[in-house]
Amino acid sequence: MRRAKFISLVMLFVVSVAIAPPLARAVESDTGATASGAQIAELIKNAKTAQDHLKIAQYFDKEAKRAEQRARDSASFARCYHETRRLSTRYAGPARNECIIRQKEYQKIAAEDRKLAKIHRELAAELEKEGKK
């Protein structure tokens, strides 16, 4: 029994080490030199030109890419939990399910961000037609 607990702990550590690099990349990308949510909110309130709307669209495109990466990471984590036979099913099953839920949530967020980016590109195109570059 003690050996089984030890092996489970070792496998949990191995899985943790395996997921650490993608998590670190996600944190790095979250702290990148892009506009903050507050800056974009202010830009949305005051957007008057095509350039303003293109900046907003770029922000949402970047956010969509981040969400897509996090969805891929969550899918990878779910596979790890599913394939880790030494981790008790008592823990692996629920952990895998949570990862699948997260994957779907991030996919939904990415789709919503893409829609927002599209809206702002369309607004920019309209403003360019009107001559408000």
Q: What CA–CA distances, in Å, run from 26 to 16, 17, 61? A: 15, 15, 16
Position 118 pLDDT exceeds 90: yes
Position 21 pLDDT exceeds 60: no
The pLDDT value given to residue 132: 59
Non-local (6+) Cβ contacts of 104 within 8 A are 71
The pLDDT value given to residue 111: 98
Q: What predicted TM-score, i.e. pTM, was given to this entire model?
A: 0.70
Of 4-13, 90-99, 111-120, the range with the lowest mean pLDDT is 4-13
Of 53-62, 81-90, 117-126, the range with the lowest mean pLDDT is 81-90
Q: Hey, what are 38's tokens?
A: 């507050």
Distance CA 22, CA 17 (A): 10
Q: What CA–CA distances, in Å, run from 10 to 50, 81, 88? A: 55, 14, 12
